[in-house]
Chains A and B, each alone.
Chain A
Amino acid sequence: MPPKSKAATKPKATEPAPATTNPTTTTTTNTSQTASSQEPSEPTTVLERSQQRYEKTRPFEAARRQHGLSKLSKEDQKGWICDQLLHLTNRLPAASRARLLSPKASKEIWWTINGTNSIVRGLKQQPKAHTTWGTDRNGHDVGSYSIERFDERIKKRAALTALQVSSRVFRENVEREKRGFVDARSGQEIIVTEREIDEEKVRRSKMTALKKELYGEITGKLASSVDWEDVVPTPHEEPEGALAAIAYPAEYAEAMSYLRAVMSKKEYSPRCLRLTEHIIGMNAAHYTVWLYRAANIFALGLSIPDEIEWLNEVALANLKNYQIWHHRHLLVEHYHPTIASDAEALAHFAKQERDFLIAILSEDTKNYHVWSYRSWLVGKLEMWEDSEELKSIETLIDEDVRNNSAWSHRFFLVFSNPKYATPGKGATERDDKVTQELVDREVQYAQTKVYLAPQNQSPWNYMRGVLVKGGRQLASVQEFVEEFVVKLGEGDDQEEVRSTHALDFLAEIYAEKGESEKADLCLRRLAEKWDRIRRGYWEWRRKCLTQGSSEKVVEESEKAEEVTVV
């Protein structure tokens, strides 16, 4: 409804005529004819209805708008001027009004107005599309609503207001309960009952629905939740010049504003845990949220196995995510001391973890985060001797002999076992404590896999690593390597190389034995024919053959020098 004009303060003003009264009198027949010549049709919209009401209370203005001032009769023109003056001066405080119009002019105006029997309290504001009633959630002008539809809307607005009032009462009661407020009438402390909370929840959802329907306003899940009643969210305000803004949903912005609020207060509570889950569901790569989640779990002393179970689902849904694995790492670090002395619990936990790792690796066999977590876990839970671990790796290599991650894990499992490996030895360092049987077994394993796919670099690298670890000459496998290189340098049609890695290996064997020319031939053939995309590299290796040893000397001396500098 358009706001009605404030009651005119003129004490001597005649009582306003009802809107239905014919605005003109017999003395102003002309106006009567002009203003009421077209009896308005039944209004179809709210805007039309208000427009008609307005015109009825302002007949001179309506006539002017319709015909133009110059077309009006002298009487009507005079009436219009008086009407304008009256409404203009009515807006002013009495003192200013007196200054604007001399008593004589005032008198004349009133005389004219009374003469026309015009409505003194005419509607002040002309209704306008969009501005008077605003727009609905679809951006449509509420003024264009039909009367019935508008009445519906008014009812809903009234309902919303009623709900808001009840909700405020509820919130005040919550506050009073906290303060231990005693009701003066009943003399009892105010207690918010479960039923009241349930009622409030219903109320909130109704309010959210109404707000959405009336104004298209989407109240976030948290803002309308009773749980977050006492938290004032800290909204994020982006300063000017912002880069890399991301179009994220309002829900995310809301959740972050609550996160900021609770993090500031360092609150650890079940609701904070739920909040982190809510955010992780939208963005699983937010490191701060994960850290805050861990802090909540530790502070509340929640069950780590439960958390890990929840985490499994999240990990499977976010394969490439790193934060999940860091979180898991923290959880295990926290949990481990509680089961460390219980061998059975430890074995059970190790099995559970492995089962999950097998499951997730079947989705993404070379996932770096999973593999690094797995190698860490082997050390933490001392799974070295666990035959299942080695077996599951063998299965993966059997499934895909080129799975380099599985090869890496095998090497780690076999050669970092503290039972026999020298602690502190680098991965590629010779370790005299490694038994020759073990070296034999691993060389053998690598070789059977080379046969399956000679151009697969993984087992070649593996074999080389095993030999270095075991302190063996590379030449100890020369025969095997030579199987893959036939008649090298004996002409293009004779020469056959089944694996460039074999040729590379062979070059190293010859270099080791001091047979530089043979080594050079291998490298040359790689550069010329078998692996031309690495020509630069093979040429570099050829150069190193001739000056390799001297370079090493230089490097060694530099190293000694630097140690003192650092």
Chain B
Amino acid sequence: MSILDGDGDGCDQPKAQKEEPQQEEWPYLDVHRHLRYWKMCIRAPLPHVYLSNESNRLALAYFIVNSITLLTPPPSERTAETPEPLISREDKKLMRKWVLHHQHPTGGFCGTSSLVFPLKDYDTFNFETKTSDEPEHAGLANISSTLFGLQLLALLADEEDEAAAEKVFEGVNRTGTLRWLKSLQREDGSFGEALSDLPGHGRFIAGGYDMRYCYIATAIRWILRGDVKEGEPGWVEDFDTEKLAKHTTEDSPVTPKTKPTQATPTAPSQLSPFSTVLSLPPLLPPHPPPSPSPSPSPSAPQKPSLLHSSIRDLPGLIHWLSSRPFVYLEPPPPPSDSDSYIYQEDDLDDPNFLLPPTPSDLLCLLSETTTKDGQPKQAHVAFNGRTNKVADTCYFWWVGGALANLGHLDSLVDKEPARRFLLEKMQHRIGGFGKSPGSPPDLYHSFFGLAVLGLLGDERERGKVREFDAGLAVPRATVGVIEMARGRLVELEREGGRGGKGEKQLDAVELGLELRGGERERPKWLGECGY
């Protein structure tokens, strides 16, 4: 009998569960504990160890709110026994206000409220050039924070009021943000994270060459741009999508990339230059869907053909992604018993990545049918982020999400042993998931653990975790909210209504056009100004 079961036929489903659903067979997702963990994260200040994320608090907020949303059944599925949602409708309102407070006056979001300056400090900001002649402001809005901010606004939609969903982006400076986004694109098509004024270097696009910024740029574009045609009110000059596509699909000799903090699997991070590909194209279509549809639909795989065809070496990429899972072996006890000790000495530096010298050794270890305490032994499959690296919760998500976007998750990942590893080795007693076996939970890994469960859509987790969208890294239902909200935002701008002020401005513009002779073509620059 194969101990590496879990091919999806369900033969290893815990029998107890079928007879008595209340008593689940271990391992299972302990929703109660996870909720308790997240409750702690939302009610009390985060401990001091999170200080290094102080500049990126919107990211932390995104992990928290997204996780709670994943674990909160939608109103239609709630019963009398369902506990009160951790975030009340009233809280959501306040939180949305807090998120919007991070918006920079000229577009984009700052990563932390400590970088939101009192309004008077923006007085010298040049709204035409989007730079400040005087104060140092350019670096305050940040590309990843902007995506997190937009995602948060949608995640915090009041689900009990459907009409409210389409209003979640009200207050978002759509044209400003899209223009600012364009200014973050470098000559080679890539994106930086922020603008900065460096004496002697002028205005400068800060942030390394990081493929995640490229993904984020396309995601923001997808969320905000809509189908406004050139010349129509609300039209904003686009960034160079062609250049971006070229940059992402062509190997560049050096693509330094930061450790992933962005939630969506874009490029599998840290590929070897000789392992076929360096980067993936943005997983969102360069053009948003023609018309925002109110039905919640998966956003990413809308144009799989484009995705597939732009990857230079798809088989190589899939090979690389498929090489990430490995059989997780418990770190051995100290080598007192030298006969059965088959690891090389330096293996012990990486107790979470033990590689038996030959495949036969591995088979031999796996063929032991019971563990020391007499339990039937079942394989655990962990994921790493690079060749010969250790197991890490988040790489189950990164690899799983990338494969899901390629449409290969179900066929290529042996879900059962991977799920078992996640729930048995990474799930922590106090709730949440740790980075590696035995480590305490943190926001980042706790969220990604839930996200990948939502992605797998395992029927045991169904009802516990919402279905998750690998393209936008939010629950499926939230993708629908984003689409509706974008529609509304675009509609508002089409009507020329950027608040009351905007209406007046438009009237003046229309009046001017009338005076100029209404039949004549609208000047192009008007569109560039957002009319």
Query: Interface residues, chain A, CB within 8 Å of chain B?
Result: 234, 236, 238-249, 252, 256, 260, 263-266, 268, 282-289, 291-292, 294-295, 298-299, 320-322, 325-326, 329-330, 334, 366, 368-369, 372-373, 375-376, 379, 400, 402-405, 407-408, 411-412, 416, 426-429, 453-458, 461-462, 464-466, 496-500, 529-537, 539-540, 544, 555-556, 558-559, 562, 565-566
User: Which of B411-419, B473-481, B519-527 lines the interface with chain A?
Assistant: B411-419
The contact string, 1 if C-beta is below 8 Å from chain A, for chain B 243-282, is: 0010000110111111100000000011011111110000
CA distance A497 to B363 in the complex (A): 11
B326 to chain A, nearest CB (A): 7
Q: List 27 A-B contacts (CB under 8 A).
A: A238-B113, A241-B93, A241-B94, A243-B65, A245-B45, A246-B47, A246-B53, A249-B48, A260-B114, A260-B117, A263-B135, A266-B132, A291-B198, A322-B208, A325-B256, A402-B355, A426-B312, A427-B253, A428-B275, A466-B274, A496-B360, A499-B358, A500-B359, A535-B414, A540-B412, A562-B306, A566-B241
Contacts of A373 in B (CB 8 A): 256
Q: Is there contact, CB below 8 Å, between A379 and B356?
A: no
CA distance A286 to B275 in the complex (A): 33
Q: Is there contact, CB below 8 Å, between A457 and B135?
A: no
Contacts of A534 in B (CB 8 A): 322-323, 325, 412, 414
B275 to chain A, nearest CB (A): 5
Closest to A405 in B: B386
CA distance A412 to B253 in the complex (A): 8
Contacts of B193 in A (CB 8 A): 287
Q: Is there contact, CB below 8 Å, between B61 and A244?
A: yes
Interface residue B95 (Cβ < 8 Å from any Cβ of A): yes
Contacts of A426 in B (CB 8 A): 250-251, 278, 312
Q: Is there contact, CB below 8 Å, between B358 and A291?
A: no
Q: Is there contact, CB below 8 Å, between A282 and B98?
A: no
CA distance A544 to B411 in the complex (A): 13
Q: Is there contact, CB below 8 Å, between A457 and B323?
A: yes
CA distance A209 to B360 in the complex (A): 70
Q: Is there contact, CB below 8 Å, between A292 and B136?
A: yes
A206 to chain B, nearest CB (A): 30
A64 to chain B, nearest CB (A): 50
Closest to A253 in B: B114
Q: Is there contact, CB below 8 Å, between A266 and B4?
A: no
Q: Is there contact, CB below 8 Å, between A456 and B53?
A: no
A103 to chain B, nearest CB (A): 60
Given the contacts A284-B52, A454-B358, A531-B359, A330 and B198 also touching, CB distance less than 8 Å: yes
A235 to chain B, nearest CB (A): 10
Contacts of A455 in B (CB 8 A): 355-359
Q: Is there contact, CB below 8 Å, between B411 and A540?
A: yes
CA distance A321 to B261 in the complex (A): 12
Given the contacts A248-B51, A375-B254, A533 and B325 also touching, CB distance less than 8 Å: yes
A545 to chain B, nearest CB (A): 11
Contact with B309, one of A236, A284, A298, A562 (Cβ below 8 angstroms): A562
Residue among A283, A428, A500, A556 with the highest chain B CB neighbour number at 10 A: A428
Residue among A329, A373, A453, A461 with the highest chain B CB neighbour number at 10 A: A461
CA distance A73 to B47 in the complex (A): 66
Q: Is there contact, CB below 8 Å, between A558 and B61?
A: no
4 pairs of A and B residues whose beta carbons are closest in the complex: A465-B274, A241-B94, A426-B251, A372-B256
Q: Is there contact, CB below 8 Å, between A236 and B54?
A: no
Residue among B135, B193, B326 with the highest chain A CB neighbour number at 10 A: B135
Contacts of B99 in A (CB 8 A): 243
Contacts of A464 in B (CB 8 A): 274
Interface residue B201 (Cβ < 8 Å from any Cβ of A): yes
Contact with B113, one of A239, A379, A412, A556 (Cβ below 8 angstroms): A239
Interface residue B381 (Cβ < 8 Å from any Cβ of A): yes
Q: Is there contact, CB below 8 Å, between A411 and B94?
A: no
A325 to chain B, nearest CB (A): 7
- Given known contacts A243-B65, A285-B52, A532-B414, what 16 new A-B pairs fall within 8 Å (CB)? A238-B113, A239-B98, A246-B50, A248-B51, A285-B53, A295-B196, A326-B208, A368-B269, A426-B312, A428-B275, A455-B357, A456-B388, A535-B7, A540-B411, A558-B308, A562-B306
Contacts of A453 in B (CB 8 A): 344, 357
Contact with A498, one of B114, B135, B359 (Cβ below 8 angstroms): B359
B198 to chain A, nearest CB (A): 5
The contact string, 1 if C-beta is below 8 Å from chain A, for chain B 185-214, is: 000000001101111110000111000000
Interface residue B456 (Cβ < 8 Å from any Cβ of A): no
Q: Is there contact, CB below 8 Å, between B414 and A298?
A: no
Contacts of A244 in B (CB 8 A): 41, 46, 50, 57-58, 60-61, 64, 443
A24 to chain B, nearest CB (A): 60
B278 to chain A, nearest CB (A): 6
CA distance A243 to B113 in the complex (A): 10
Interface residue B77 (Cβ < 8 Å from any Cβ of A): no
Q: Is there contact, CB below 8 Å, between A246 and B57?
A: yes
Contact with B199, one of A287, A299, A500 (Cβ below 8 angstroms): A299
Closest to B55 in A: A286
Q: Is there contact, CB below 8 Å, between A295 and B114?
A: no
Q: Is there contact, CB below 8 Å, between B136 and A263?
A: yes
Contact with A282, one of B4, B51, B312, B344 (Cβ below 8 angstroms): B51
List residues 491-528 of chain B with CB under 8 A from any CB of chain A: none
Q: Is there contact, CB below 8 Å, between B414 and A461?
A: no
Contacts of B132 in A (CB 8 A): 266
CA distance A242 to B44 in the complex (A): 11
Contacts of A264 in B (CB 8 A): 117, 121, 135-136
Contact with B245, one of A260, A465, A566 (Cβ below 8 angstroms): A566
Given the contacts A291-B194, A461-B274, A268 and B257 also touching, CB distance less than 8 Å: no
Contact with A403, one of B51, B273, B276, B388 (Cβ below 8 angstroms): B388
Q: Is there contact, CB below 8 Å, between A320 and B259?
A: yes
Q: Is there contact, CB below 8 Å, between B254 and A288?
A: no
Closest to A245 in B: B45
CA distance A555 to B55 in the complex (A): 43
A236 to chain B, nearest CB (A): 5
Closest to B246 in A: A566
Interface residue B346 (Cβ < 8 Å from any Cβ of A): yes
Contacts of A366 in B (CB 8 A): 386, 389
A409 to chain B, nearest CB (A): 9
Q: Is there contact, CB below 8 Å, between B310 and A562?
A: yes
Contact with A287, one of B135, B142, B319, B358 (Cβ below 8 angstroms): B142
Q: Is there contact, CB below 8 Å, between B97 and A240?
A: yes
Contact with A242, one of B113, B355, B357 (Cβ below 8 angstroms): B113
Contacts of B46 in A (CB 8 A): 244-247
Q: Is there contact, CB below 8 Å, between B408 and A530?
A: no
Q: Is there contact, CB below 8 Å, between B98 and A408?
A: no
Contacts of B278 in A (CB 8 A): 426-427
Interface residue B327 (Cβ < 8 Å from any Cβ of A): yes
CA distance A300 to B56 in the complex (A): 29
Closest to A504 in B: B319
Q: Is there contact, CB below 8 Å, between A298 and B272?
A: no
CA distance A291 to B198 in the complex (A): 8
Interface residue B423 (Cβ < 8 Å from any Cβ of A): no
Q: Is there contact, CB below 8 Å, between B274 and A428?
A: yes
Q: Is there contact, CB below 8 Å, between A265 and B135?
A: yes
Interface residue B2 (Cβ < 8 Å from any Cβ of A): yes
Q: Is there contact, CB below 8 Å, between A532 and B2?
A: yes
Given the contacts A295-B198, A531-B359, A533-B417, A322 and B388 also touching, CB distance less than 8 Å: no
